[in-house]
Amino acid sequence: MRNAMIPFCLFAMLFATVGPSLAAADGNGAAAAPVKVIFDTDMLSDFDDVGALACLHALADAGECEILATISSTRGNASVGAVEVINHYYGRPDLPVGAPKGMGVIGPRPGSKSKIDPALPLTERTNQIGGHYKYRKLLADYPGWYRYKDSDDAPDANEVYRRVLAAQPDNSVVICSVGFITNMRRLLETKPDTISPLDGKALVAKKVKRWVAMACQYPSGKEYNSMWDAESSRIAFENWPTPIQFSDWRYGHDCFAGRAVAEMKVERSPVKDVFAGNIPSRDEVRRNSAKCLRSGFGMGGRSAWDETAVLLAVRGVEPYFNAERGTYRMTGKDGSNEWAPDAENGPHLRITQRMPKAEVARVIDELMTRKPKNGKN
């Protein structure tokens, strides 16, 4: 495994980043610099991505992070526009956006063979495009809040990554991915160009402090974000030159957040709209709790897979999580994966429970329900 070849100094870097790392203050009580974050999302069918992006903007409003770019990991759909609607809501309509070209997930759902026709009306036919309906509806409900109705019209994610990384100080950027791994693989495979004399792997090694990924299913399984472009996942995880921290699927699955967002007393909020429109009622959860749990719903809302990744990216492991060192790897072309614990030499880290999950969910809800500091509507 190439991972076994990662030098020990990277392990030291990994754990240097996971101590108490609240951005509000360093160990001496002085204000810490905001964490520089590139956010990479599928914004495809599920909606914890919306919660994650809302958390990120709230943390940026508080000076805890700086959002450098918001990039989609899918093409031929409304994902980029949906991201832009959220960015607009928080008063950051000009954030760089991008999408992959030529590979990875396309269209309205994983496994689709073709893109969505952006002119397709929102009618019963939208049943055919499943969960992506909510994002197309977001574009219909918030006209003028986005630039790219079709993510294929957005810039190439590679160009955005390279431009943003090249402009940042060395070892300063945290990538937070809450979708497919396509863009990381493509970035690693980029060649030197007019943006940077470095190839993708060298550019990442120089600029990226760590990659926080919502991926991995302990101890093994077919984790959604890793499996749908399994070859890219394998290449990226095996070749990434800086530490990777995983927000494990099992952590987020029973950490429920978002009902507080759905029940907010605000008008004209795309974040509220998405949560209110997609969480089962309290009564339904009460009547069908086992079924809801299997589907990732609880009384508190939706499984907070992606929001926990944002917490990990901006605030670090403590005080919310424990962490285990090991190796996460793809084990088959079908997207199977496994986590191999290795406390001594594992190049990766995955979070486990420390604080009760209901408390973590309350932290997430508090962030998601904050009023945008400079919001536009």
- Name the segment binding Ca ion (CB under 5 A); options: 91-99, 227-235, 281-289, 301-309: 301-309
User: 20 or 131: whose CB is closer to Ca ion?
Assistant: 131
Q: Total binding residues for Ca ion by CB under 5 A?
A: 5
Binders in 98-117 for Ca ion, by CB under 5 A: none
At residue 191, φ and ψ (nearest 5 deg) are -100, 165
User: 84 or 206: whose CB is closer to Ca ion?
Assistant: 84
Binders in 23-52 for Ca ion, by CB under 5 A: 42, 49
- Name the segment binding Ca ion (CB under 5 A); options: 20-28, 76-84, 124-132, 174-182: 174-182
Distance in Å, CB of 170 to Ca ion, minimum: 29
Binding test (CB under 5 A) with Ca ion, winner from 51, 179, 298, 300? 179
Distance in Å, CB of 311 to Ca ion, minimum: 15
At residue 341, φ and ψ (nearest 5 deg) are -60, 140
SS3 65: strand
Residue 57: how many other CB atoms lie within 10 Å: 30
Interface pattern 306-325 for Ca ion (x via CB under 5 A): x-------------------
Residue 212's nearest CA partner among 225, 203, 199, 201 is 225
Residue 153: how many other CB atoms lie within 10 Å: 12
Distance in Å, CB of 56 to Ca ion, minimum: 13
Contact between 329 and 340 under an 8 Å Cβ cutoff? The reply is: yes
Distance in Å, CB of 250 to Ca ion, minimum: 16
Distance in Å, CB of 159 to Ca ion, minimum: 23
At residue 273, φ and ψ (nearest 5 deg) are -55, -45
Residue 55's nearest CA partner among 304, 320, 223, 245 is 304
User: 45 or 327: whose CB is closer to Ca ion?
Assistant: 45
Write down how long the chain is. 377
Instruction: List the beta strands (DSSP E) in 1-141.
Output: 35-41, 65-72, 97-98
SS3 173: strand
Distance in Å, CB of 237 to Ca ion, minimum: 17
Report the interface residues with Ca ion, using CB under 5 A.
42, 49, 178-179, 306
